[in-house]
A and B are shown apart, each in its own frame.
Chain A
Amino acid sequence: MALEYDRLNDDTIAAAATGLAEAGIGIIRISGPDAIGIADKIIMLRQRNRDERDLFSGKKRKTLFGMPSNQIRLAYVVDPKDGRVMDEVMVSVFRHPYSYTTEDTVEINTHGGVYLMQTILELVIQNGARPAEPGEFTKRAFLGGRIDLSRAEAVMDLISAGNEFSRRTSMDELRGSVSDKVKELRKEVLYEIAFIESALDDPDNYSLDGYPHKLEEKVTRIADELKELIIYAKEGRILKEGINTVIVGKPNAGKSSLLNYLCGSERAIVTEVAGTTRDTLEEKVRIGNAILNITDTAGIRDTEDVVEKIGVERAKKAMEKADLILFLLDSSAGIEEEDRRIADLINKEISRGKRCILLLNKTDLPSKITQKQAQDLFRFPNPKPSPESSEKRINNYRSITFLTCSLKEREGLDRLKKLILEMFRAGEIMEKNEVFLSNLRQIHEAEKAEEALRLVIKSIQNGLSEDFYSIDLMNAYTFLGRIIGEAVEDDLVEEIFSRFCLGK
C-alpha cells in the first residue's frame, strides 16, 4: 500500500483531460514537477519566419520553459526518437501554483481522435510521465490546497468516488476471465514467494534443491500469459479505435480497385473525417467486427496511388502510422525496381512489429511472379502459425502474409477479409470487449509486472540464489495487485503460515 502514496506529489502524471473519445479536439494534460520538462521533449513551438527544418534540428529552438504562462501557442508534437511530426497542436503552460492541480501543468490541444490522442499520450509517458489514476488531477488539486479545506468533505467524496469509480470500472472491465486470470497469476506468484521465504526462514525444513529450474519454467509461463493479456489489451485498443491501414503498391497494381472494393462493397460506415488543419483523409470501413481506418496522406479526396502521387517518402510516412500495410503486387508485370523499394520499406516496418499482407493481384492474367520470388523480397517470411499460445500466434502475424487474388474477378477477397480479422483477432477480442485491460494505467502495470518477472528469469539464468528472485517477484506481485486494485499488506505472512509448516 505504501507504494501508492509515495507518488503523491513527487512525480508527473498525464492523461487525456477530455476523455478518449472521437471528438474534434482532445486535451492531454500533464501535471507535476517535471511537466514542462517532459512536454518540452516532445513539443516544438512554431516560430514565425523560420525554416521548418531549422525548427526540428533544434537550432535556436524556443523551449516551453521560456513560454509565458496562461497563453496558447501553435506547436508540433514531435517524437524525439526520430523527429517524426505526429500532430499539429495548440499548447498552454500553467505554472505552479496557478493551475488546476496547483502544480506545473502543460495542456496539449490535439486533433482529437482516440488513436492520435493515445499515441501522443504514450509518447508523453515514454518521456517520463506516469499515467494518471482516475480522479488524480482532482486529488492533486485538493492536495495542493487549491480547494478550500471547508470543502474537504465534498472533495473527499469526489476523491473516494474517483477511487470507487476506478475500483468499479476495473472490476467491471475485469469481471470474468481477465480478472480471474490476474488473480490466478498473482496467487501463483505469491505462492512461490512464500515458498522461498519459508525455505529461507527454515532451511532445516524446506530445501530449495532443484527449485530454480522449476521456478524458471513457472515464471516464464506466467510472464508469457501476462504478455498475452497485454497483447490482447493492445489489440483490443486497435480494434476499438480502428485498424490504421495503408494500401501501397506501384502504379496500376490495383490500389484504387482494392480501396473501392473495400469501401464500395461494405459501406457499413464510411465517414470522411477531415482534420481541421491537416491534409489527411480517413476512410472508415467496417469489415465484420473490425473497422479499418484507411489513411491517405495524398490530399483531400485523392484516394489513389500513394506512391505515384506523393512518392516513396509519403508512402513511408503513411506506413509508419499504420497498423496494417496492404501491399499490392501485379503478378502479370513481374517484380520491378519500385516493388523492391517498397518491399525494403515494409521490411523496416515489419521489424517494428507491423503487420503486412502481400496481395499478388491479377491472377486472372498469366503470372510472371512465383510465390518464391515474392517471398524473397522480404526478410521475414511468415513462419507457420502455431497453436501453442496466442502470443505466438499474434507474433506470427507480425510479419508478412501472402495472398493471391484477382480484384477484377473479385477472387480471393473473402480470404483477405478473413485474414485481416484473424490477424487482429477481431472475433475473439471483440467478444471479450468488456474484459480486457482497457485502460492505459492497467496495461502499464501489467507491463511492469511482466518486466519484473523477466528480471526473475534473468536472475535464475545468471545463477543467483533464491533470495534475489524474491525482490522482483514481490514487485511483480505488487504490480499485479494494482491492476485489480487489491492491497498487498500482510498477504505474504498469511500465505507462509497457511501453506507451509514452519517452526519448532
Chain B
Amino acid sequence: MNKLAEWQLTLPLALAFAAIFLAPLLMLVGVSFFNDDKITEPGFAQWAKFYGDPFSYKVIGDTMLLGVKTVCATILVGYPLALVYLDAPQRLQKVLIFIIVMPLLLSVVVRTFAWIVVLGREGVVNQLLLSLGIISEPLRLLQTELGLVISLTQIEMPLMLLPLISVMSRLDPNLRDASAALGASRWRTLFTVIVPLSMPGLVAGCLLVFASSTTAFISQTVIGGVRLIYLPLLIWQQSLVVFNWPFAAVVSISLLVSVLTVVSALSWLGRRSGGYVHG
C-alpha cells in the first residue's frame, strides 16, 4: 500500500467529524441569526438582546473569573504537590501518581456530590469547626462562590498535575544541584530554575483547568446553586427550560469564544515564555 492509500485511513473519522461535529456547529451559528424561537425569521435580534443587556457582561465576567480563581487555587496547592512528587523516592511516586490520576476516573458527579457532604450545613467542615468551638453557627458554604472554587479545585486538580508532572520529570536534576552548589536557596532555585523550566506544563495545566471549570455545568449548578449564574446555566435554561434556541445559541457561541480567547492567549504566553527560557 502506498502513501496515498495510507492517508485514506483517516477518511472514516473525517467523514464522521464532518457530519456530526462540524455540521452541528455550523448549524448552531446559523440558528443564532434568527429573531424568533420558532426559527423562521432571520435577523440579529438575539445577538442584540444578549449584548445589549449589562447582565450578560456580568455573567461572562463571573464565568471567566471563576475559571481564573480555580486556576490560581489549583496552582497554589497543585504545584507544591508536583514538587514533592519530583523529590519523592520511586515507590512513593507510584502511590502519588495513583492518587492523582484516580479522581480523574471518578465521575465528576460523584466528586461534586462528595463536596455537598463536605460543605453542607451538617457537613464535615461545619461539624469540625463547631466542635472545636471556632464557630457557633454553621457556616454557609454551599451556594457560595468560595465553596464552588474549593470544590472545583479538587475536581480539576488532576488536569493541572498531569501536564506539570510530565514536564517536571523531564527536567535535568543536575540543574537544581548546580543551582544549590552555586549558593542559591531552595526558594531561589524554585523561582529562577524550576518554575521557568516547567512553564510549558504549567501553561498546559492552566488551559485544561480553565476550559474545564468555566464549563463545569453540574458542579456550578449543584454547588453554586441557582443564585450564582454562569454561562453554562444560562445556556441550559434558555435551551431546555425556556426553549429559546436562537438565544441559547448566542450564549453558547459567546461561551466558546470567551473560553477559546483566554485559552489561546494563555498558550501564546506559554510559547513566549518557553522561547525566553531556551533563548
Report if A and B associate in a common complex. no
- Spell out A's residues near B (CB within 8 Å): none
Interface on B for A, CB 8 Å cutoff? none
